[in-house]
Amino acid sequence: MFKDSKYVISITNLKDSPNKQYLNEFVFIGRSNVGKSSFINALTNKKILAKTSSKPGKTKTLNFFLIDETFYLVDAPGYGYASTGVDQRVKFGSIIEDYLRNNQCLKAAFLLIDFKVGPTKDDLLMFEFLKFLKIKIIIVCTKTDKIGVTLRKKYQKNILNKLQLNESSVILTSSVSKLGIDKVVEIIDSCNLGE
């Protein structure tokens, strides 16, 4: 588990990045209301490190969190929320695109998918975009606790089919029960050490 984590800055332009030491970065991407902030809080074991909201589309900036003084977790704006204005959605898109295309410090992207909802059209587009950019992708299913244990295989199979992946490529998580959190921490630690 990470020992020290702190919020550093929120930016709307990559040139304002606080990462002047070229530390590794790990970005969390997903549609609005997928539970990115709750997931980051579970990962860092801090209840209010990342601000959560009952209103989707709240994150409008790239939020940087410095972990153990050695790397950054970055919370990206959510995508695909209908009540967000078109101009705002385009702006969110350009912020994320610039970050993904032009960031030499980015080690991996964690694509968060709501376990119950499954991959949306926007999730599939983001998945293809990340593959196109040759960014290491880790698929994380959030809110797994909302589905009964007996039905989880069915929901998992749906996600694997849509993404055309095998079972080992997807991590089932819950910010409530902490399911899968240790596995994500292990992946980040491994990537950060260059393994």
Q: What is the pLDDT of residues 64-78, one digit of tens each?
A: 999 999 999 999 988
Record the pTM: 0.89
Range scoring the smallest mean pLDDT among 55-59, 119-123, 164-168: 55-59
pLDDT above 70 (res 104): yes
CATH number for 11: 3.40.50.300
pLDDT of residue 57: 47
Q: What is the pLDDT of residues 2-51, one digit of tens each?
A: 889 999 999 988 999 999 999 999 999 999 889 998 999 999 988 777 66
pLDDT above 50 (res 83): no
pLDDT of residue 133: 93
pLDDT above 90 (res 63): yes
Q: Which two tokens stand for residue 128?
A: 């293809």
The average confidence (pLDDT) of the chain is 88
Q: How many domains does the chain have?
A: 1
Residue 193: burial class (beta carbons within 10 Å; 0-12, 13-18, 19+): exposed
pLDDT above 70 (res 90): no
Q: What is the mean pLDDT of residues 111-116?
A: 97
Neighbours of 21 (CB within 10 A): 8
14 three-state secondary structure: helix
Beta carbons of 56 and 92 less than 8 angstroms apart: no
State the alpha helices, DSSP H only, in the chain: 36-44, 86-101, 121-132, 152-163, 181-192
pLDDT of residue 78: 85
Beta carbons of 130 and 96 less than 8 angstroms apart: no
Q: What is the mean pLDDT of residues 169-190?
A: 95
Range of the domain at 145: 5-192
pLDDT of residue 46: 86
